[in-house]
Chains A and B, each alone.
Chain A
Amino acid sequence: MSPDTVFSTTSSTAMAGWLLLILAPRWPALIGFIRCGLIGALSLTYAVLIFVYFFRVEGGGFGSIAEVRTLFLDDPVLVAGWVHYLAFDLFIGTWIAVEADRRGYNRLLQAPMLVATFMFGPLGLLLFFITRASEMALTARKA
C-alpha cells in the first residue's frame, strides 16, 4: 500500500469514529467498537509502519528539531506520525465522551469539546479539563 492509500484509509477510519462518537447513541458496544475496533486498527497500522520504516531513515530521531524534521521528510514515517495523532486523539475523545456522560453533560455541549479534540487534540482535552474543574468547583459549593 502506498503512503497515500494508508493516509486516506486511516483518515476515513478516524473520521467514522468521530462521527459515531459525536452523533450516535452511547451504546456500550459502540464505544467498545470505537476503542478496540477503530483505534485498535489505527494502532496496528501505526505499529506496522514504525516496524517497517522508522529505523530506515538516515539521521532520523527524536533528539533535535533537525532529527524530527528528517523523520517527517520520509512519507511513510510522516503517515505514521499522522496515524499517531488519529489514534490518540480518538482515544482521548472517547474518554472525554464516556467521562462527560458519567457526569451528565448534555450531548450538545459535549459536541464542541469533541470537535476541538478532533481538530486540535490537546486543545479539546484542555477545554474538557477546565470545564470539568469549573463544574466541580460550582457543584461542590452547592452540596
Chain B
Amino acid sequence: MTMLFHDSLALAPAQNFVAAERRTRSLLIVGIGLQVALALPSLTAFFVDDRLINDISVWIKPLKFQASLVLMLGTLLVLLPLIDVRTRTGRGVWLASLMAVITASGEIFYITLQAARGRASHFNVGSPAEAIAYNVMGAGAALLVLSSLVIGLYILLRPRPDAPIGLRLGGGWGLVLGSVATLFTAFALGSGQIDGPGHWVGGVRTDLGGLPLFGWSRSGGDLRVPHFFATHIMQALPLLGLSLDRFAARFARPGIVIGALVCLAVVGATFIQAVQGYPLL
C-alpha cells in the first residue's frame, strides 16, 4: 500500500505533463473537427445551391478555407511533439494553439456564414457590419499566422533532444518562413494597393474558367498564387525534412537550407509574375 502511494507520488508530475499535453492536443483536434463539421454541409450545399460569387459557386471559398485550415491545424498537431516536453506542456504552446484554433474557427464561421448569405467575405465592405467583419477577419488571420510562427520558433529554440534533425529544421523553419511569407503575401493581397481591391491583377475579373481545383485566373495575374505557395511552405519543408531523415539523413541540414531557398524563390517568382499581370499557367 505504501509502495503504491509512493509510486503515485513519483508519477504525479509526469501525469500533469500528460494532462497538459492532452489539453493542448485536444484544442487543436477539436478545432480540426469544427472545420470538418462545417465542410460536410458546405460540400452538400455546393451541389444544391445555385448562387454564384465572381461567377463560381458561393461554396467554393468556404470549402477551400476549410481544407486549408484542417491542413494548417493538423500540421501544428503533428509537429507539436518536436518541442521539448517541458515547453510543450507549458503555457506558451497552449496559448499559441488556443490562438490558432480560435482565430481559425472565427474566420471559417464568418466565411461560411457569408456564403450562406450569398455574400462575399473578402474585400466586402458593402455594409458597415461587413466592413468591420472584414477587418476583424484580417486581424484574426494575422494572429493565426503569428501563432504558427510562435510554434515554429518553439521547435527551433526548444526542440526535444532526440528530435530527428530534418523534421525539426523542416518543421521549425517551415512554420517560421511559411508564416512570414504568408503575412507578406496576405498583406499585399489585402491592402488593395496592387490593381485595386481583389486578388486579380489585370485580366478578366472572374473566377470562372480558372485553374482546375484552385480557381486561379488564367487571363491575368492572381495574387492568390504566391499566397498559396507561401502558406504551404508550412507543409512542404516538414515533408522535405521527413524524407531527408529517412533517405539522406547526412544531408538534412543543407537539404533544408536548399529547400527553404527554393520555397522562397517560388513565392517571390509567383509574386512578381502576379504583380506583372501574368497568370501562373
Q: Chain A interface (Cβ within 8 Å of chain B)?
A: 103-106, 108-109, 112-113, 123, 126-135, 138-139, 142
B41 touches A106 (CB 8 A): no
B33 touches A133 (CB 8 A): yes
Known: A123-B41, A131-B33, A139-B26. 20 other contacts (CB 8 A): A104-B26, A106-B27, A106-B98, A108-B98, A108-B102, A109-B27, A109-B30, A109-B34, A112-B105, A112-B109, A126-B40, A126-B41, A127-B38, A128-B37, A130-B37, A132-B33, A134-B29, A134-B36, A138-B33, A139-B25
Q: B32 at the A/B interface (Cβ < 8 Å)?
A: yes
B40 touches A138 (CB 8 A): no
* Chain A residues positioned under 8 Å from B36 (CB to CB): 130-131, 134
A104 touches B37 (CB 8 A): no
1/0 per residue, CB under 8 A from A, across B2-27: the answer is: 00000000000000000000110111
Which residue from chain A places its CB closest to the CB of B41 in the assembled complex?
A126
* Chain B residues positioned under 8 Å from A112 (CB to CB): 34, 105, 109
CA distance A81 to B28 in the complex (A): 39
Which residue from chain B places its CB closest to the CB of A105 in the assembled complex?
B30
* Chain A residues positioned under 8 Å from B32 (CB to CB): 134, 138
B123 to chain A, nearest CB (A): 24
CA distance A133 to B32 in the complex (A): 11
Q: B31 at the A/B interface (Cβ < 8 Å)?
A: yes
CA distance A118 to B184 in the complex (A): 39
B109 touches A135 (CB 8 A): no
* Chain B residues positioned under 8 Å from A108 (CB to CB): 98, 102
* Chain B residues positioned under 8 Å from A113 (CB to CB): 34
Q: Chain B interface (Cβ within 8 Å of chain A)?
A: 22-23, 25-27, 29-34, 36-38, 40-41, 77, 98, 101-102, 105, 109
Interface class of chain A by DSSP: helix
B29 touches A139 (CB 8 A): yes
CA distance A133 to B105 in the complex (A): 17
CA distance A134 to B26 in the complex (A): 11
B105 touches A106 (CB 8 A): no
* Chain B residues positioned under 8 Å from A142 (CB to CB): 25
Which residue from chain B places its CB closest to the CB of A110 in the assembled complex?
B30
The answer to whether residues A126 and B30 also contact, given A108-B98, A108-B102, A112-B105 and a CB cut-off of 8 A, is no
A106 touches B30 (CB 8 A): yes
* Chain B residues positioned under 8 Å from A138 (CB to CB): 29, 32-33, 77
B26 touches A126 (CB 8 A): no
Which residue from chain A places its CB closest to the CB of B97 in the assembled complex?
A106
B23 touches A130 (CB 8 A): no
